[in-house]
Amino acid sequence: MSKLVQDHIARGEARIVNAPVAAKRHQVESDRNFELPTGLFATTVGCYLAFLGVMFAAFGNPVLVIPMIIFAVSIIAGFGVPAIWVRLRDNASKPLTGDEFARKGIITNTGRLRPRDATIQVLILPVLVVIWGITAAIVAAVVS
């Protein structure tokens, strides 16, 4: 429980001390590149943009131009901000090159992943989204 300490200070049982002087603190150091090579990152962006392209080609309508542009800008912004983070002036971490990725893989919360496993884990959703878009376009073409 808390209580006032004025009476302790008055009786001399407590003392007031200055706060300790801490070393100059910088922003939290963090690795903002996710250890992904640029090619893998670009492939992910390409898959999402390919999905938008397939949807626009299959269901192209002048009314859908603005929503498709908004989706494309959102995808580019969502992946562009992390790409900018890596290029910040005081950022010490750099993305892995293709050779480093092939040699070392990446570290995850559960341990090291081999390059093949990491690539599958990163690209499974974007590739499935593109396949789903192609499938939806085929079904729409067959039905109509």
What are the average pLDDT values for consecutive 10-residue runs of the chain, which has 144 residues? 67 75 66 77 94 93 92 94 81 81 84 89 95 96 91
pLDDT, residue 130, reads 97
pTM for this one?
0.73
pLDDT, residue 144, reads 83
Residue 81's Cβ-count burial label (10 Å; 0-12, 13-18, 19+) is exposed
pLDDT, residue 1, reads 46
pLDDT, residue 26, reads 61
β partners of residue 107: 112
pLDDT, residue 70, reads 96
Q: What angle do CA 32, 37, 40 make, to 5 degrees?
A: 110
pLDDT, residue 88, reads 79
CA–CA separation, 108 and 100 (whole Å): 16
pLDDT, residue 33, reads 67
